[in-house]
Amino acid sequence: MSETPAILFHPQPDETGAPVPVFRPTPATAPGTWLDPQARATYSVTERARLPESLNGVAFTHESLGTDDWARFMRLYRDFPEPPEPESPKRRTSGVVMVEPDHRIWIVHPTNQFGDVEATFPKGRLEPGLTLLVNALKECWEESGLVAQPLAYLCDVERTKTVTRYYLARRTAGSPADVGWESQAVTLVPAHGLLELLNRPNDRRILPFLAEALNAANQPHGSGKPHKSR
């Protein structure tokens, strides 16, 4: 007689305090993948493999961000340069595309593939009282456990019911070990591997903007220019 598989749970409860089962876990990768710029590295909440102490000179830290921090970010980034929002009655959301110095990019795996999404960039609905930028930083921390510093406006992507603004960012603190319940895994992937992991067309629409931004950053006198929405 075969054994019944054990039920796995996310280490973090949902917003009501209820436990969150993980029915189809995302496997973790070997510890050495984190230090290999050509490798895909995944932290999974159901395996919780050991992370290195730091990556690309930035330590993995345990952060606890709250209302005071979002208010501080509102002041810090109130003059952040970005184009006006597209004219549209659709709901606003915002997110972060976070790039490491080794040119790998952070993505998250929604718990139980919510919305049929296998992997995506951290993002979420605009919360009252926040700007699109600070909302994106808050969503990034909640969905990846990582603290992001915005570098530039990246693009606007219009969806059926929403317009999502994305920002290019870098990691300054935090750890995938502290990822919130909405994500069951966090992955660091080389840019050429994004197309394989991002299974939703709207996420793939970001990739040309990302490629342009990365290419501009590699030019001696490159400068990022605001992009039009798609």
Domains of the chain: 8-217 (3.90.79.10)
**pLDDT average per 10 residues of sequence, the chain (230 residues):** 71 96 95 96 92 97 96 98 95 98 97 95 97 98 98 96 97 97 98 96 96 84 47
pLDDT recorded at residue 221: 53
pLDDT recorded at residue 146: 98
pLDDT recorded at residue 3: 57
pLDDT recorded at residue 2: 53
Predicted TM-score of the model (pTM)? 0.92
- Which residue type does 110 have? P
User: Which residue from 208, 11, 194 is spatially nearest to 118, judged by alpha carbons?
Assistant: 194
pLDDT recorded at residue 107: 98
pLDDT recorded at residue 5: 59
